[in-house]
Chain A
């Protein structure tokens, strides 16, 4: 690990100002940043510790929305009674991620900014455009079993590893950001993460020193909420494919549907096409299959990850069967 100076932030705007300087970065739970610093993939010269800032509360807003502070631990959010009853898909996604110990440290803000698990990104001897822009992508034509099938580019085929963000995607979450110049903006989760394009090292719309202060969940839509994660071992493992769904039915007809995939792209993959193929149709396997086909219409495998396309279709169908049963 490279040496760095350290400060513990005591106020939010001051932390943003400190982190906007060259070489400085926020540290929250540290569970992703320190992992990468040990390997010298991340090399900050100054750490601004934001873990004790008063941003850990979960509050109900006047309009029925829920405001989750960026410093709230993943475990606290998953266990919050309001999240469990009104946004169960978020609780399910959180407890499907990492381990009990990690969830106690991982913050909501850090979870949104966590980096890919592409093995070449972690292997400093390999070329990787995300780690070292211009050095090539070793995953294209390499071991790419866990890589993206949607939205990838010739520069990078990595996936976003977050489970939480997939649930937030179907919940239409908004990310509240505070810039170093003290301006506040809200970004839809759909616009927060970027596709790799030819700048795969730029993963979110965050500016230098800009801090995630909260995630706002609008009142939940009607219907049953489900998160289903498929992985190589039963626990403590990242998703190969995951699906978050919210489905409402009315006398055998799907009245509304929201669907997002994890593990298939550089960002949570909300599928408007699948949602359109479900809404107003009978809640039958034929409908689910048609929606799954539409959702994966543009999917492209890289060889070793071809199986993900079919796995994503099947995982969607299975999730929809379960969601429609009880909604």
Chain B
């Protein structure tokens, strides 16, 4: 059985030979394995994954990068937020096989004790957490969010979407961070920590 599965291993990465792509509904209960290379935190990592593996599970289960958390696994909490090509996304709702050649950054790469990222330092300074489960997602999300605001992107809290001037008020921060849920409700201090960095301190 195992040998048979191994014989079926393949990755079809182009449609140029679409006619040869075999789609066999009857065989779909057999896991499909795929060799992929991911660029994570500046390092190329080769791994073999079941096509069903989400980026989140690849990070946590295959690469041991457990800083990224699984909360809901359905895009509803933000605990799994990572940066892909500089943008924040939910790693639970995307497949690892879809991210070949993308630049993936997780909380592990932002900073470490002694060399904290300004947002990590601000979360410590402002007491922006209680249990800490949502925190890596909050911080990765805030990195992406500050870049979006700097690029002038509007939000639901922006009174006039046609204006390219964004004032990052507390209302704006709350709305832009609404994709990160905190069960400990550390929200006031999360907003305070992000505000500190948005206003230019601490470095």
A235 within 8 A of B: yes
Q: How far is the CB of B58 from chain A (nearest CB, A)?
A: 14
> Given contacts A5-B32, A38-B74, are A18 and B21 in contact (CB under 8 A)?
yes
Is there an interface contact between B31 and A84, defined as CB atoms closer than 8 Å?
no
Question: Which residue on B lies nearest to A43, using beta carbons?
Answer: B28
Q: Give A6-46 as 1s and 0s: 1 = Cβ < 8 Å from B's Cβ atoms.
A: 11111100110110011110010111001100100001011
B120 within 8 A of A: no
Question: Which residue on B lies nearest to A229, using beta carbons?
Answer: B156
Q: Give B169-187 as 1s and 0s: 1 = Cβ < 8 Å from A's Cβ atoms.
A: 0000011111111000000
B94 within 8 A of A: yes
Between A43, A47, A88, A99, the greatest number of chain B beta carbons within 10 A of the residue's beta carbon is seen for: A99
Chain B residues near A15 (CB-CB < 8 A): 15
Q: Give B68-96 as 1s and 0s: 1 = Cβ < 8 Å from A's Cβ atoms.
A: 00000111001001000001111001110
In this complex, how many residues of chain B approach chain A with their Cβ under 8 Å: the count is: 61
Is there an interface contact between A100 and B141, defined as CB atoms closer than 8 Å?
yes
Chain A residues near B25 (CB-CB < 8 A): 22-23, 45
> Given contacts A22-B25, A95-B158, A95-B161, are A6 and B145 in contact (CB under 8 A)?
no
B152 within 8 A of A: yes
Q: Which of A48, A51, A81, A85 contacts B15 (CB 8 A)?
A: A48
A272 within 8 A of B: no
Stretch in A54-62, A101-109, A248-256, A299-307 with 4+ CB within 8 Å of B: A101-109
Q: Give A145-189 as 1s and 0s: 1 = Cβ < 8 Å from B's Cβ atoms.
A: 000000000000000000000000000000000000000000000
Chain B residues near A43 (CB-CB < 8 A): 28
Tell me the chain B residues, 1-56 only, with Cβ under 8 Å from chain A: 11-16, 18-19, 21-25, 27-32, 34, 50-52, 54
- Complex Cα distance, B93 from A51, in Å, reads 14
A1 within 8 A of B: yes
> Given contacts A23-B23, A34-B54, are A10 and B93 in contact (CB under 8 A)?
no
Q: How far is the CB of A276 from chain B (nearest CB, A)?
A: 29
Tell me the chain B residues, 148-175 only, with Cβ under 8 Å from chain A: 148, 151-156, 158, 161-162, 164, 174-175
Q: How far is the CB of B98 from chain A (nearest CB, A)?
A: 6
Tell me the chain A residues, 129-151 only, with Cβ under 8 Å from chain B: none
Question: Which residue on A lies nearest to B101, using beta carbons?
Answer: A52
Q: How far is the CB of B80 from chain A (nearest CB, A)?
A: 9
B97 within 8 A of A: yes
Is there an interface contact between B12 and A7, defined as CB atoms closer than 8 Å?
yes
Is there an interface contact between A91 and B90, defined as CB atoms closer than 8 Å?
no
Label chain B's interface by main secondary structure: loop
Is there an interface contact between B90 and A100, defined as CB atoms closer than 8 Å?
no
Is there an interface contact between B179 and A102, defined as CB atoms closer than 8 Å?
yes
Is there an interface contact between B34 and A31, defined as CB atoms closer than 8 Å?
no
- Complex Cα distance, B16 from A2, in Å, reads 26
Q: Which of B50, B93, B148, B181 contacts A35 (CB 8 A)?
A: B93
Q: How far is the CB of B8 from chain A (nearest CB, A)?
A: 9
Chain A residues near B74 (CB-CB < 8 A): 35, 38
Q: How far is the CB of B85 from chain A (nearest CB, A)?
A: 10
Is there an interface contact between B16 and A91, defined as CB atoms closer than 8 Å?
no
Q: Give A80-119 as 1s and 0s: 1 = Cβ < 8 Å from B's Cβ atoms.
A: 0100110010011001101111101100000000000000
Chain B residues near A47 (CB-CB < 8 A): 51, 95
B144 within 8 A of A: yes
> Given contacts A3-B32, A35-B74, are A236 and B18 in contact (CB under 8 A)?
no
> Given contacts A7-B13, A18-B15, A96-B156, are A45 and B24 in contact (CB under 8 A)?
yes
Q: Which of B87, B90, B161 contacts A92 (CB 8 A)?
A: B161
A65 within 8 A of B: no
Is there an interface contact between B179 and A236, defined as CB atoms closer than 8 Å?
yes
Q: Give B91-123 as 1s and 0s: 1 = Cβ < 8 Å from A's Cβ atoms.
A: 001110110100000000000000000000000
Is there an interface contact between A3 and B154, defined as CB atoms closer than 8 Å?
no
Q: Name 4 extra pairs, CB < 8 A, besides A4-B32, A46-B23.
A: A17-B15, A100-B177, A101-B75, A101-B78
What are 22 sample pairs from A and B whose C-beta atoms fall under 8 A apart?
A1-B52, A3-B30, A4-B51, A5-B22, A6-B12, A6-B97, A7-B21, A23-B23, A29-B93, A38-B74, A45-B24, A91-B161, A92-B161, A96-B156, A98-B179, A99-B78, A100-B144, A100-B155, A100-B178, A101-B89, A234-B178, A236-B179
Binding site for A on B (CB under 8 A): 11-16, 18-19, 21-25, 27-32, 34, 50-52, 54, 73-75, 78, 81, 87-90, 93-95, 97-98, 100, 141, 144-145, 148, 151-156, 158, 161-162, 164, 174-181
